Amino acid sequence: MKKLTLILIFFIVHSCLFAQSFVANYDESKVPPYTLPDPLIFKDGKPVKSKKDWRKRRKEIFSLFEKEVFGYSPQWIGSTKSEILSRKDGALNGIAKRKEVRLELVNGNKTISLNILIYLPKNSKDVPLFLGCNFNGNHAVSTETDVLIPDSWVGNDKNLHITDHRANPEGRGKEASRWPLKEIISRGFGVATVYYGDIDPDFDDGFNNGVHQLFDVKRDSTSWGSVAAWAWGLSRVMDYLETDREINTGKVIVMGHSRLGKAALWAGAADERFAMVVSNNSGCGGAALSKRIFGETVGSINNAFPHWYCMNFRKYNQKEELLPVDQHELLSLIAPRPVYVASAAEDAWADPKGEFLSCVFASPVYELLGEGKFSASDMPPLNTPVLGTISYHVRPGKHDVTLYDWNCYMDFASGYFKLKR
């Protein structure tokens, strides 16, 4: 209790001091001139001319993101064990089959457990599946009263108060609007989700909790933070999915909203088994260009959430011009696989224009790889998706995931996977 009290005091004081010093820019006329690194120029200045060249250049860019932004994730040499906790045919009023799986990650005498909630169309196996982390526990995704409640750390979306308690039934269905399960299943998709706090609790305790504790690794300025841990956890869920005969792991779409959108992008970059990546309102450190210094910035994110990224990322607080990478290159790392970026018009903190411009400046890599050009150079009107291997839309409203967003993602994935409507 004493430790938790000290953590709480730290966050309150830290948040107050930071709020006094940071003023976000929401004025396009105040966006400074900036130069973006070219993903198709090697660090020695030579141009990337072929797909073979790109694989080499991709390693350079990926290494920079590891070293300067997300941190290096340790190699996984442990083992995994899975246990089916529950099965239910006729879930969601008869249209789905539901399964809850406990996945144990074991490294020596250390074990972490993740609970995975899976919904699949009742009479189909070979379907695309959306995989993503949730914020409040698997029971918050579904209104079904028998979905298990997590027994790990549960905080809140804004993370202003650090708590260490078990979830309670009052949170059931809290995120249901962000996970329209019936609509997703009815469109012929599956869903798998895992509570992000099972992977790594979202507060700064010196990286002694969550999956970090599985490794006896001395931390330095390049060590992984929580965003990389959440991404790493999604890859371990993918390990399990590859053993599940009911799931076609060639059609797994990794998806995330907000901070979990940042994690989804890094998961898609780090793990090429994911067939498609969806970023919903991921903002700074996700899809938005850092060098625009609009809305949330590198300095603001590192000060408010010092555990999200590696310590090296702090070198660029208020010095974004020195960053050797920017977020269009994060999208480029996903190429030639599809990536869908979505913004909300009232979510200026996440910089919708910066998210859009990342799509524009990632386009040359997709073109080199034969995937066509991103077909817009100016921000599209609201509710007018720009579709291609790189896709983008901006909708009315605030920072959230809506049914409109999901319908856009499903429309796009249906075309990509050639699903019948």
The Cα 367–Cα 351 span in angstroms is 25
The Cα 148–Cα 270 span in angstroms is 30
What are the angstrom distances between the C-alpha of 42 and each of 60, 109, 334, 375? 8, 43, 18, 26
Q: From the candidates 14, 186, 399, 414, give the one annotated as an active-site residue.
A: 399
Contact of 93 with 234, CB cutoff 8 Å:
no
End-to-end CA distance of the chain: 54
The Cα 385–Cα 395 span in angstroms is 9
Q: From the candidates 152, 258, 282, 391, give the one annotated as an active-site residue.
A: 258
Question: Rounded to 5 degrees, what are φ and ψ at 271?
Answer: -130, 105
Contact of 343 with 394, CB cutoff 8 Å:
yes
Q: Is 343 an active-site residue?
A: no
Please state the length of the chain. Answer: 421
Q: Is 139 an active-site residue?
A: no
Which residues have C-beta within 8 Å of that of residue 153, sequence separation ≥ 6?
Answer: 163, 164, 165, 197, 201, 209
Q: Alpha helix (H) ranges present in 297-336?
A: 298-304, 327-332
Helix or strand or coil: residue 136?
Answer: coil
Catalytic residues: 258, 399
